Every structure is written in C-alpha cells, then in structure tokens.
C-alpha cells in the first residue's frame, strides 16, 4: 500500500475543510466598563440626556438604599450616580419618561405630580439649583420632549397644557403654552423635526381630520399622511440624509413585507434589510450609521441581541459585539458614543446595570450579518507550501469553511 505524504499545512487545510468553525464574538471591547455591576442606578431607565458636562438618567431608577437615593432621576458625578436635591427633597414623585435640555436647563416629562419641593404636573424644569413648573403643567402623560428652535414641544396623551386646549401635542415658549392646528385623535409617542417639517408617531389613525395611520407630517400649514401609513406599533423615529426612519412592531407597510423598521424617502416606504424579529423601541444616528434597539434576538438567521447597527453605505446590519442582555428603552448619541438605557444587567458580556455605552469611533464595519443574501468571505494571500504564515480571521456566526 502506498501512502501520500502531505505537508503539515496541507493536512491542516484538509482537516479544516470538514470542520465547523465557531466564531469569536467580536468587538465587545467597544462596550464601556464605566457603568459596572457595582454602580447601580436601582432600576430600569426610560430616558438619557448627555452633553459635554453631564450624563442624566430618568425612569424607575430609585438608587441603592442606604448608600444613595435617586427617586427617578440622577446625574453621573465622580464615577457614581448622584441625586438631584432641592432643599433636602430628592428627585421626582412619579415616573419620568423623557428629558431634554435648552439653554442649560433640564426639562423632564412623564407621569408625576411633584418634583423636589414644588408641585409640577407631568412636566418640570431644573435650572441646576431649583425646580420650576411650566405654568399649570400638562393634564396627562408626557411621552417625549423635543427642542426646536426657541420652543419646547411636548407630546403624549393629554388634552390641556397650562390653561390651553392642546390635544396630545403642545409647545412652550418659556412663558406660555400654545397648541398646534389640528390634533391627532389619540396619543403621540414621539416628535421629529427636519428642516421643513414636523413628524409625529403614535397610536392615532387621523390628525386634524386627515387619515394618517400611526405617522403624520406637519409642514407648517397642513397635516398629511406618509403613504398608506403603518399598521402596527410605531415606537421610534429618526432621520438621515432627508430620509425618515421608523421602528416599532409591524410586518407590512401597504403591500410590502417590512419587519419592524422602515425608511421613507418622501414618496415610498422601503425595508432596511431583513429587519429584526422583535420590536424596535429606540433609534439613534451616528454619521452614516443607524442604531436600532429594543427587544429582539435575531436579524435574518443571525443572533443579534437587542441592539444593532445599519450602515447606510453598505446597506447591511452589523452586531454590536454580543449585544445587550435585556430590553433597551432608549438610545442617546453623543460624541461618537451610543448610550443605551433600559431593563438589562449586561452589555457585551460585561456587567452594566440598566445603562451601557458603546464607542462608535473604534468599531469598523467588518463583522456584518447575512441580510438574507449569498456572499463569499475571502481571506486573500499567497501561501508557499510549506509555510509558517498564520492568517487570522473571524466569522460572524457558525459556518462552513473551505480553504483552497
């Protein structure tokens, strides 16, 4: 019997061609360790606001007794969470849902009746030393606060702001509340402004008498629908290069099959790849990338846990390392960092209780997911036989490998 003598390299290649290689989880180093399991805000987070001077959180975060108490709202100071205190009174009595800043003042909205030492109905302002009510407040839940030019816009489920009849949307000029012409027939979850228009999303099916299924546009004069609208829950909205992106829980738009995230170019809806298998609750934009988060674990056939990135350049979904181990309620982008808040204990397999930070500046688009298309992954080089060269590569998921 004759035996074929093979070099060590050829033997290894033959072995690998019949083996399944399990990929390493890439990029978890981009998840920050600043919010470790030992730095606990004490409950799920609904809202985050970050600027160059501060990180603010709001939600069910009660703090950790007896070390510190937050009562719904806190700031990051000297590597730990600190309460907002006014004359010995800590935080908010109720549930904050949204935050924004204007002229250095922090505005908070939600479902509450007092902040610090004052009565404030569902909306209040913190100037760094004291709380202030905004007139008589708003008589229902405030789901989102948005700054546009000199005004603060509030949306939610209400019919009066101050003493003004304002159904589900109102605006504050620093002294007085006013309404917007036409009203959605039920609650509004979020507001988005671009250069010419205001967009709203929510549970409504008409605005100002105009049929508009869960999303509508205000051009300053009239309301209009965006195509046939969306049959399903729409929970998040953002914009990129004159395109509107929405996320939620839906399977079709018009006659098109579109799973849970879609884009509007001014005339038509389209899908962003396959889309996740669960709801999207938050969106954020960094450069040419759209970050989507919520409650999902698959995109196509790939495991993607609760947060992912869509590249508008490659039209491809990318995982953020091993992702987040629970539900993400909110995202906030600041200075090439994505802050995620919600109900979870780990991000990137690191302890990160209820808040996590992803660094976008170091991450490269080299770990893409399948997006339901056939493709080849090639590591190119000229290898002499035998060789001592070692070629390193990673795969985004379990797959078959052919080396030749």
Listed by start position, the domains of the chain span 29-375
**pLDDT number for residue 396:** 45
pLDDT at 10: 35
| Position 247 pLDDT exceeds 60 | yes
pLDDT the model gives residue 387: 41
Condensed to tens digits (0 to 9), the pLDDT of residues 6-40 reads 344 333 333 333 333 334 366 899 999 888 777 88
Pick from 70, 48, 104: nearest CA to 328: 48
Q: Are 195 and 182 in contact (CB under 8 A)?
A: no
Q: Which of 275, 303, 235, 232 is nearest to 46 (CA)?
A: 235
For residue 136, what are its two tokens? 């008589």
pLDDT of residue 398: 40
Q: Report the chain's C-alpha Rg in angstroms.
A: 25
- Across 297-389, the runs of DSSP E, i.e. the strands, are 298-299, 302-303, 307-311, 316-319, 327-334, 337-343, 346-347, 350-351, 355-359
Mean per-residue pLDDT of the chain: 87
| Continuous segment of H or E residues that includes residue 223 | strand 223-225
Query: Under a CB-based contact definition with an 8 Å cutoff, are residues 329 and 341 in contact?
Result: yes
Render pLDDT for 46-55 as a digit per residue (tens, 0 to 9): 999 999 989 9
Query: Which of the pair, 264 or 400, is modelled with greater confidence?
Result: 264
Beta strand ranges found along 226-288 (DSSP E): 233-240, 243-249, 252-253, 256-257, 261-264, 269-271, 279-286
Cβ-defined contacts of 338-345 (< 8 Å, 24+):
338/284, 338/286, 338/291, 339/48, 339/50, 339/55, 340/282, 340/293, 340/307, 341/44, 341/45, 341/46, 341/47, 341/48, 341/57, 341/59, 342/44, 342/45, 342/281, 342/293, 342/306, 343/44, 344/306, 345/37
pLDDT at 371: 45
Section 152-172 average pLDDT: 98
Place 363 in a pLDDT band, splitting at 50, 70 and 90. Answer: low
pLDDT at res. 20? 32
Q: Do the Cβ atoms of 342 and 44 come closer than 8 Å?
A: yes
Domain over 29-375 is classified CATH 2.40.280.10: no
């Amino acid at each position: 019997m004759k035996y074929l003598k093979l070099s060590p390299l050829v033997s290894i290649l033959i072995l690998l061609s019949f083996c399944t290689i399990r990929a390493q989880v890439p990029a978890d180093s981009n998840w920050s360790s600043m919010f470790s399991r030992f730095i606990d805000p004490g409950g799920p987070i609904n809202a985050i606001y970050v600027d160059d001077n501060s990180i603010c959180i709001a939600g069910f975060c009660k703090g950790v007794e007896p070390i510190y108490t937050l009562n719904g709202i806190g700031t990051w100071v000297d590597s730990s969470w600190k309460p907002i205190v006014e004359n010995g009174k800590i935080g908010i009595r109720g549930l904050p849902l949204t935050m924004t800043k204007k002229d250095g003042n922090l505005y908070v909205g939600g479902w509450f009746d007092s902040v610090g030492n004052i009565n404030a109905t569902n909306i209040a302002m913190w100037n760094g030393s004291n709380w202030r009510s905004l007139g008589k407040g708003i008589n229902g839940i405030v789901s989102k606060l948005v700054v546009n030019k000199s005004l603060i816009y509030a949306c939610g489920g209400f019919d009066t702001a101050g003493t003004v009849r304002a159904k589900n949307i109102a605006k504050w000029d620093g002294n007085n509340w006013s309404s917007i012409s036409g009203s959605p027939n039920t609650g509004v979850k979020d507001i988005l402004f671009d250069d010419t228009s205001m967009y709203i999303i929510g549970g409504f099916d008409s605005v100002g008498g105009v049929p508009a299924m869960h999303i509508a546009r205000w051009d300053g004069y009239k309301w209009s629908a965006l195509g046939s609208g969306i049959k399903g829950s729409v929970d998040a909205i953002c914009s990129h290069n004159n395109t509107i992106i929405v996320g939620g829980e839906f399977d079709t738009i018009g006659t098109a099959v579109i799973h849970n995230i879609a884009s509007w170019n001014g005339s038509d809806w389209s899908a962003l790849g396959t889309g996740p298998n669960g709801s999207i609750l938050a969106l954020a934009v960094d450069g040419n990338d759209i970050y989507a988060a919520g409650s999902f674990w698959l995109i196509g056939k790939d495991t993607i846990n609760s947060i992912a990135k869509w590249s508008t350049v490659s039209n491809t979904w990318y995982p953020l390392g091993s992702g987040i181990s629970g539900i993400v309620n909110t995202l906030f982008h600041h200075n090439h960092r994505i802050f995620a808040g919600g109900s979870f204990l780990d991000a990137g397999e690191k302890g990160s209780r209820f808040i996590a930070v992803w660094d976008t500046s170091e991450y490269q688009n080299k770990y893409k997911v399948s997006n339901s298309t056939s493709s080849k992954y090639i590591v190119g080089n000229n290898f002499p036989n035998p060789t001592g060269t070692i070629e390193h590569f990673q795969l985004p998921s379990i797959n078959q490998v052919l080396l030749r």
